[in-house]
Chain A
Amino acid sequence: MVDIFGIPSTALFGQLLIGLINGSFYALLSLGLAVIFGMLNIINFTHGAQYMMGAFAAFLLLQYTGLGYWLALIVAPILVGIVGMIIERTMLQWLYKLDHLYGLLLTFGLALIIEGLARNYYGSAGLPYQMPEALVGGYDLGFMRLPIYRAWVIAASLMVCLATWFVIERTKLGSYLRAATENPTLVSAFGIDVPRMITLTYGFGVGLAAFAGVMAAPIYNVSPQMGSELIIVVFAVVVIGGMGSILGAVVTGFGLGVIEGLTKVFFPEASNTVIFVIMAIVLLVRPAGLFGRRP
């Protein structure tokens, strides 16, 4: 047993791993928020509820159709994304020209409805979700034991984040998207259906949240309130990183997850609050956020 700063290395690496797991959820969720904010000019308060819906969708798919984890990983985000697109078409689309606060309040209301309904039908206690067979167990790395599922979560979310970055920054579709973010009128003049693009963007951002929810299901229990506390932390992550850059969102998400994990080792009392404290410090030193472009 090796000690680092008086802490057993297994404990240190264990918390580091948990930090990376939390970081992957922060990264996926803040990425979705940033993509949605870029196109829709709306802060999607429903994001936490949609993450919860992803987990519930996986649970219900297994319960009623016998669809396992791997298919749920694809089907659940699509289902939740479709629900999101319906919300966008019926409600959000009227708010783009208005003050951002309308979007915040509307999506906050939606989050209350979704969470309230889930709690009505499934209670506040968590529902367990089985880990897929293939990912049970762990590797012994010598200095620590690495559970396969946790390694998979980190790898998968990194891949999804990088893929999203690639699509938005390096493909034709992404260039339309970025152009429409800058100047929707001009882009539609080139014959691109901007409203449809906005709808699909919202569906995609929501799908990312649901994807994170499915991945979270085997680690945490599936419960109605799993999203609401997470989303507030993600808001702080977004304030720290700024919503200006995709890689910024990803780096901030993972970085803060790791810092939170380390805090759990060295100063456990502050582990819940460390991200908010960092947010306060960043606001004092760099009000625009680490990757933000304007104050």
Chain B
Amino acid sequence: MERADPAPVATSITAVPVTSGRDWSEPIAFLLMVAALVIAPVYVYPLFVMQALCFALFACAFNLLIGYGGLLSFGHALYFGWASYLAAHAAKVWGFPPELAILTGTLTAAGLGLIAGSLAIRRQGIYFAMITLALAQMMYFFALQAKFTGGEDGIQAVPRGTLFGLVDLNDPMNMYVTVLAIFLAGFLLIHRIIHSPFGEVLKAIRENESRAISLGYKTERYKLVAFVLSAALAGVAGSTKAIVLQIASLTDVNWPMSGEVVLMALVGGLGTVFGPVVGAFIIIAMQTYLAQVGQWVTVIQGAIFVLWITVTHCPTCAR
């Protein structure tokens, strides 16, 4: 029942117009975002902003893969959640300072990304998504059974510690500044990757892989590097989350989390620089403030997926 050739793909899932010349809108938007994040804790509960920043970095990392590489990973919770476990374990049991705990988590995610990525890129499109999902589910079961993850309880009461032996992260202000710095560093790194020659090749592969191959690019290698980068950055986000919220749990490695990050990137706009950040804030706000309506949050999230696709792609709604 399989087609001999894949159906003609009329539109890539992330068609972004190519702009040329010096465009000042991005630097200005960036400065506005930084300004907003600096004054945010005055008006909003800082813990909420910190949590949202972690997810924003997670969504940006995911977006690097789908938005610029055209690869839909449906298992990004794997890197986020396992990094969060390892960071929490390193900080709590091994007594690592926060910077080393985050590094531990990040390296874990990068290693897992290397393994999962090299398996997943052996198939394309829909199979790629299914493979990443299945591998993430496998590691979810490992997390469920492994002793050190604490099973259903997770790793609780993770110490925040002292950054570089100087900054006490138990102080909310210090923690906030640290999270903001990590987020901005990750954000700028992703921006740098996208605009580097590597990023350009990645976009070329997204648009037309066969042509990229015929031009002599080893596309598999590019895809793998993008996958590992994305996993590692998701790991930074997950590790930071473990330190900020002082908990690593099964929620972070389970499949709904993988769906949630897709949703964040989707809501904000796939393949845009600021979109995933906005999307993450919207989704986390929705979860925080709609928590009392319980399961309706899932229904609303599902409805957003359905609406996004039907509204943007039915022929009667002119584009």
Contacts and interface: CB of A to CB of B under 8 A. Distances in A.
Interface stretch (A5-13, A31-39, A136-144): A31-39
Contact of A98 (B4, B11, B126, B127): B11
Q: Interface size for chain B: under 10, 10 to 19, 20 to 34, or 35 or more residues?
A: 35 or more
Interface string B250-267: 000001000100100010
B123 interface: yes
Given A108-B259, A113-B302, A273-B142, A280 B135 contact: yes
Contacts of A294: 2, 4
Given A41-B7, A273-B138, A280-B135, A242 B2 contact: yes
B3 A105 contact: no
Given A41-B7, A43-B130, A276-B137, A116 B310 contact: no
B1 A109 contact: no
A211 interface: no
Contacts of B134: 232-233, 235-236, 239, 276, 279
Candidate in A100, A182, A228 with the most chain B CB atoms within 10 angstroms: A100
A128 to B, nearest CB: 22
A287 B315 contact: no
B234 to A, nearest CB: 19
A43 B3 contact: no
Contacts of A39: 1
A155 interface: no
Contacts of B305: 105-106, 108-110, 112
A112 B302 contact: yes
A293 B5 CA distance: 11
B119 interface: yes
A186 B20 CA distance: 43
Contacts of A35: 1
A198 interface: no
Interface in B54-101: 72, 74
A115 B300 CA distance: 12
A109 B303 contact: yes
Nearest to B71: A101
A104 B72 contact: yes
A276 B2 contact: no
B3 A99 contact: no
A168 B127 CA distance: 24
Interface in B256-287: 259, 262, 266
A98 B1 contact: no
Contacts of B195: none
B10 A104 contact: no
Interface stretch (A65-73, A78-86, A88-96): A88-96
B28 interface: no
Contacts of A280: 119, 135
B123 A116 contact: no
B318 interface: no
A284 B2 contact: no
A231 B224 CA distance: 27
Contacts of B9: 98-99
Contacts of B144: 272
Main secondary structure of the interface of B (DSSP, over half): helix
A101 to B, nearest CB: 5
A119 B298 contact: yes
A243 B296 CA distance: 35
B294 interface: yes
Nearest to A279: B134
B309 A99 contact: no
B296 A104 contact: no
A268 B177 CA distance: 47
B97 to A, nearest CB: 34
A292 B131 contact: no
A35 B310 CA distance: 23
A113 B315 contact: no
B2 A283 contact: no
A244 interface: yes
B178 interface: no
A58 interface: no
Given A102-B13, A106-B309, A113-B303, A244 B1 contact: yes
30 contacts: A95-B309, A97-B7, A99-B12, A102-B13, A102-B313, A104-B129, A105-B308, A106-B305, A108-B262, A112-B259, A116-B297, A116-B299, A119-B298, A120-B299, A182-B3, A233-B134, A236-B137, A243-B2, A246-B1, A272-B144, A276-B138, A279-B131, A279-B134, A280-B135, A283-B131, A284-B122, A287-B123, A293-B2, A294-B4, A295-B123
- Which 5 pairs from chain A and chain B are nearest by CB? A109-B305, A38-B1, A112-B302, A116-B298, A276-B138
